[in-house]
Structure 1
Amino acid sequence: MGAASLAAPAMAAHAQTFPAKPIRLLVAFPAGGPTDITMRALADNAGKVLGQPVIVENKPGAGGTLPAQALQSSAPDGYTVAQIPLGVFRLPYTTKINWDPVKDITYVLNVTGYAFGLVVPADSPLKTWTHFVAWAKANPGKLSYGSTGTLTSPHLTMELIAQQLGLELLHVPFKGSADLMQAILGGQIMAAADSTGFAPQVEAGKLRVLNTWGAERLAKFPNAPTLKELGLDLVQNSPFGIGAPKGTPPAVVRRLHDAFKQAMEQDSYRAALARYDMVPMYMGTVAYLKFAQETFARERALVERLGLAKPL
């Protein structure tokens, strides 16, 4: 009890002076992609609020789960925070880990979510979704599509689509949108399932959107049908936010939450999101933890339905 009573004032003093040095924000995808670009805008705004720089550090690979894994060995002092994509909640069902995605992360706030779709090169003979499905059925296992990584939302959604339609597709994983766009523009794959990181290439006339995956058509691509319009009962959006190590003091979490919430409300961040048909999607600390708990349960059902769960 004596040690605890001594620790409490020390933690309070730390929270009052936080931050006294730069903060690292670990981002799950490579530099130059939509996640990196939007998170850098958010980090710049948050740094101005906090009075210390928020430095983005890219940790791509492993389906977007490396930042969350890095939190497990980071000090719970608020100086290391991480992007938490949905893939984090699938980890225990697909690989062996010694930590819990819900209990071993402090959920600070949710900031936005991805809009997704499927694109092909502008000169592709697969001009519509009907052409895509027909070619895939006529050529089992030969229609190649890329995603932002194995067990990411684009990969799993395409596998659900293939399952519903009886298609056999060839999946090619990449580390993120930037690499994926290079591959499809270079002719290495026939299609790309991605967040709307493809928007600049579509607007430049290099790619064509076959469908989008939200509940409604995207304002930027009004001619692209949703999956539901194409007869598939699927809606995929993928909220993500910021987490800190387990045990981060509540006062520090509150400071981080307030700073990033202010950062979300700035025009520069909203403009960065708008480039990719993304919008601010705020969840506070309590709501974000509840979302994590519910998503963790839901993702298990999805992985098992697709037969991708690994025996542990």
Structure 2
Amino acid sequence: MQVSTVTASHGRIPFWCVATAITAAAIGVSAPSVAQTWQPSRPIRLLVPYAPGGSSDVIARAIATEMAKGLGKAVVVENKGGGQGTIATQEVARARPDGYTLLLGHVGTFAVNPATMPNLSYDVNKDFAPITLLARLPMVFAVASGTPANTLAEFVTLAKSKPGALNYGSAGNGSAGHLAFEMLKTAAGVDVTHVPYKGTGAQIADLLAGHIDAAAAGTPGLLPHVQAQKIRLIAVGSAKRLPVLPDLPTVAELGYPGFESSQWFGLLAPANTPPEVITRLNAEALKALRSDAVQHRLEHDSSETMGQGPAEFATFIKTEGERWAKVVQAARLQAN
């Protein structure tokens, strides 16, 4: 068996036991000697680096509830917003690596911030022990009802006819919607002005009012207004169409092959957390992702449940960091 590792701040952590547990699970064989090695003796903290009510919070609470059933101890979600997610992320990076302090990682904190904040006090590839990728939430591109474009092609044509005249809103500088639209601008070769807001709610309110021409966001905040015919969707940023919006084409199939823009969420612990702890947390997280409760909750928000081994998730984080760094550089983005 090949031994997988993930880099930590004080060395390389072997994940052979994780591979054993995941392989056993994949073929339907229990692995009690591996997956049951560690048993928590007190509640576990799961820090979410954003305010309550958003997608990160929803996913964290759904996963925490189900993991607690398997672990036999509460998994307590704590929202610690601020610093574009750096406050909670830094706290977990410096926490004792014993399995009792976990982090809900996000594309913003693990892929965007390192590119826009060169002086981060932690290294996302060295100071954490990845557990698993939990879910992905595709970004959807929408236009205001008064914007004279019914398709992505029409929007691109309109934008090219009036460089810099059209604008789009986002939930803030460096947000998933901001990065998604900048990626679209680069792919389509258009000049559209960015208008940052303090949250998705304010952004959508101005889209409804016609104060901005377009926006990129997750489906939860947009669908009610689409159904009320107050805004129009022109494309989805995921690699494949959404079951809830089967007639909405992807950006990739509309002439921009390889385009993919989604928020993602993952579970991490501090670097040097013992392998047996990571093994158990990975097993319980994967079990939670397969539960009906989590499946139904995430499907409601058009999120796709994922699930990976720790080594695979570590590779994913590094790859995402490299991918989004190119978007940040092309858009010349800087943190507030």
TM-score range, shorter chain: 0.7 to 0.9
Offset of residue 101 of structure 1: 0.8
Q: CA deviation at 1:204?
A: 4.7
> Paired residue for 1:293?
318
1:128–1:89 CA distance, 2 compared to 1 (3 A): closer
Indicate the SS of the match to 1:76: coil
Instruction: Map 1:168-179 onto structure 2 (within 5 A).
Output: 168-174=191-197, 176-179=199-202
For residue 91 of structure 1, what is the aligned residue in structure 2? Answer: 113
Paired position in structure 2 for 1:74? 95
TM superposition shift of 1:263: 1.1
Q: Which amino acid aligns with 2:47?
A: L
Moved more, 271-280 or 193-202: 193-202
Deviation readout 1:60-93 (Å, 9 max, x if unpaired): 4555554323312323222221111123233333
Unaligned runs of 5+ in 2: 1-35
Q: What residue is the counterpart of 2:129 in the other structure?
A: 106
**Alignment equivalent of 1:52, drawn from 67, 73, 81:** 73
Q: 1:268 maps to what in 2?
A: 293
Kept in 1: contact 2:181–2:215 (CA 8 A):
no
Residue pair 2:103, 2:268 contacting (<8 A) in 1 also: yes
Rounded to whole Å, the distance in 2 between the matches of 1:257 and 1:186 is 45
- Residue 20 of structure 1 aligns with which residue? 41
From the superposition, tell whether residues 162 and 228 of structure 1 become closer, same or farther in structure 2 (CA, over 3 Å). Answer: same
Q: Tell me the amino acid that sits aligned with residue 144 of structure 1.
A: N
Alignment of 1:184-263 (within 5 A): 184-185=207-208, 187-197=210-220, 198-233=222-257, 234-263=259-288
State the percentage of identical aligned residues: 33
Separation in structure 2 between the aligned mates of residue 22 and residue 241 of structure 1, nearest angstrom: 20
**Is contact 1:143-1:169 (8 Å) kept?**
yes
Unmatched tracts of structure 1, length 5 or more = 1-14
CA 205–267 in structure 1, closer or farther in 2 if over 3 Å, else same: farther
Give the Cα separation in 2 of the matches to 1:259 and 1:228. 35
Conserved? CA contact 2:105–2:265, under 8 Å: yes
Partner in structure 2 of residue 5 of structure 1: none
Contact 1:116 1:154 in 2 (8 A): yes
Name the TM-score, length of structure 2 as normaliser: 0.76
